[in-house]
């Protein structure tokens, strides 16, 4: 039985309205599902994972890499989300640490923020420049070569942050700039009437103090001994300067000093030459620099190792000889001059 004309059109319009309603409901469900998958659904990571996004990577490449690393469920979801949510915001290269269960939205936010992993390189006090350069070359994540070898004593020991892909040359420049800034500031506030004419001389003496002791409480006192010797025109007679001369600035000697070493003709040998050596024998830290520029007020002229990592000090040579005898009694005397008898 056929509907009349007017009733038929009503039914057709009603059917079209129902169809559009169903399509709208389906579209809304689809949009809602996509929004939930991007913003609410936990990602597949069960533990934090670090991923390096290479420079120049495209969106498809980044999505594929993160899907392969298990950061996102599927690359198409990340690609679609990047194009729907803030598509004008680029994804940045670098090393990123993705948290457990990161949502796609959180992944995108991190990649757009540029909050890359912060690595750290620690340079201990007292390393020679050659030793520092080797640590920089071995630092994982740094890039490029070091074309120029910096001067001895020009790099400040400290802990330096860096990101994956930073250049080694830039790291060295940061160390050099930090040393210049540090010594200039300390030099401006130095104690009066020091027998040091330039900041460079202060760095040289600080490098000797750095190598003479690893005990923080002793630095200013040992600096005071050397300051007294410089004022009196006495030779510094510091074993570390001889070690630097014999080892050609490469680092530890690996054996006790011998009498032949102490007689070595070398401008860095402070047993043979008066005053400061021609330059630093290592890279001193801020504490050693401060000790030299604010030395302890003392009338002591000698010190020797005490056998426990520190030193005993003396005002006269006779007192010092007694201390040396005690030190040598603590070690096997094989006819060599042992390290630690500075200020003889």
Please tell me the predicted confidence (pLDDT) of residue 20. 44
Question: b/e string for 102-141 if b means 16 or more Cβ within 10 A?
Answer: bbbbbbbebbeeeebeebebebebbbbbebbbeebeebee
Is a pLDDT exceeding 70 seen at residue 308? Answer: yes
- The percent of residues in the chain predicted with pLDDT above 90, rounded, is 77
Element (H, E) at 111: helix 104-113
Least confident of 1-15, 186-200, 207-221: 1-15
Centroid of chain to Cα 81 = 37
The Cα 99–Cα 106 span in angstroms is 9
In CATH terms, the superfamily for domain 44-117 is Endolytic murein transglycosylase (3.30.1490.480)
Each domain of the chain, given as residue ranges in start order, spans: 44-117, 119-178, 192-329
The Cα 175–Cα 125 span in angstroms is 12
- pLDDT tens for 49-107 read 999 999 999 999 999 999 999 999 999 999 999 999 999 999 999 999 999 999 999 99
Residue 52: strand pairing partners = 95
* Mean pLDDT in residue range 254-268: 93
- Which one, of 308, 305, 294, 307, lies nearest residue 343 by Cα? 305
pTM value is: 0.82
Is a pLDDT exceeding 90 seen at residue 9? Answer: no
Q: Are strands 94-98 and 311-314 parallel, antiparallel or unpaired?
A: unpaired
Distances (CA, A) of 219 to 224, 225, 336: 9, 10, 26
Is a pLDDT exceeding 80 seen at residue 277? Answer: yes
Is a pLDDT exceeding 50 seen at residue 154? Answer: yes
Q: Cβ–Cβ contacts within 10 Å for residue 313, how many?
A: 21
Q: How does the average pLDDT of the chain come out, rounded?
A: 90
Please tell me the predicted confidence (pLDDT) of residue 328. 83
Q: Phi/psi zone of residue 230: left (φ > 0), alpha (ψ -120 to 50 degrees), beta?
A: alpha
The Cα 42–Cα 225 span in angstroms is 65
Least confident of 4-8, 211-215, 251-255: 4-8
Range 90-93, long-range pairs (CB < 8 A, 24+ positions): 91/53, 91/57, 91/59, 91/62, 92/53, 92/116, 93/53, 93/54, 93/55, 93/56, 93/57, 93/165
Please tell me the predicted confidence (pLDDT) of residue 170. 97
DSSP assignment of 283-343 equals ---HHHHHHHHS-------EEEE-SSSSEEEESSHHHHHHHHHHHHHTS---S-BPTT---
Least confident of 17-21, 98-102, 125-129, 221-225: 17-21
Per-residue confidence band for 333, with pLDDT thresholds at 50, 70 and 90: low
Distances (CA, A) of 273 to 4, 58, 153, 266, 304: 123, 63, 20, 8, 20
Q: Quick check: 81 and 108 in contact, CB under 8 A?
A: yes
Least confident of 112-126, 230-244, 262-276, 327-341: 327-341
- pLDDT tens for 155-193 read 999 999 999 999 999 999 999 999 999 999 999 999 999
Query: 3-class SS at 161?
Result: strand
């Amino acid at each position: 039985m056929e509907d009349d004309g007017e009733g038929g059109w009503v039914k057709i319009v009603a059917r079209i309205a129902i169809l559009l309603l169903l399509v709208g409901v389906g579209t809304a469900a689809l949009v809602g599902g996509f929004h939930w998958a991007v913003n609410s659904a936990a990602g597949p990571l069960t533990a934090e994972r670090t991923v390096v996004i290479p420079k120049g990577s495209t969106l498809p490449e980044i999505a594929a890499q993160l899907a392969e690393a298990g950061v996102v469920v599927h690359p198409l979801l990340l690609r679609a989300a990047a194009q729907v949510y803030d598509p004008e915001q680029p994804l940045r290269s670098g090393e990123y640490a993705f948290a457990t269960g990161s949502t796609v939205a959180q992944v995108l936010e991190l990649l757009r923020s540029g909050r890359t992993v912060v690595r750290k390189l620690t340079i201990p006090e007292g390393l020679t420049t050659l030793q520092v350069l080797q640590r920089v070359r071995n630092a994982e994540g740094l890039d490029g070569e070091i074309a120029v070898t910096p001067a001895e004593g020009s790099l400040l020991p400290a802990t330096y942050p860096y990101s994956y892909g930073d250049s080694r040359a830039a790291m060295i420049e940061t160390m050099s700039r930090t040393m210049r800034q540090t010594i200039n500031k300390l030099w401006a506030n130095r104690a009066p009437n020091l027998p040091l004419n330039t900041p460079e001389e202060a760095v040289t003496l600080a490098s000797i103090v750095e190598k003479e002791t690893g005990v923080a409480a002793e630095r200013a006192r040992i600096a005071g001994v050397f300051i007294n010797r410089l004022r009196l025109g006495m030779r510094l007679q510091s074993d570390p300067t001889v070690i630097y001369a014999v080892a050609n600035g490469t680092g530890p000697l690996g054996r006790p000093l011998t009498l032949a070493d102490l007689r070595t003709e070398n401008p860095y040998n402070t047993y043979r030459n008066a005053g400061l050596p021609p330059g630093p024998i290592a890279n001193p830290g801020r504490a050693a620099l401060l000790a030299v520029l604010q030395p302890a007020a003392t009338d002591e002229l000698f010190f020797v190792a005490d056998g426990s990592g520190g030193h005993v000090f003396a005002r006269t040579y006779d007192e010092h000889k007694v201390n040396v005898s005690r030190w040598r009694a603590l070690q096997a005397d094989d006819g060599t001059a042992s390290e630690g008898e500075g200020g003889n």
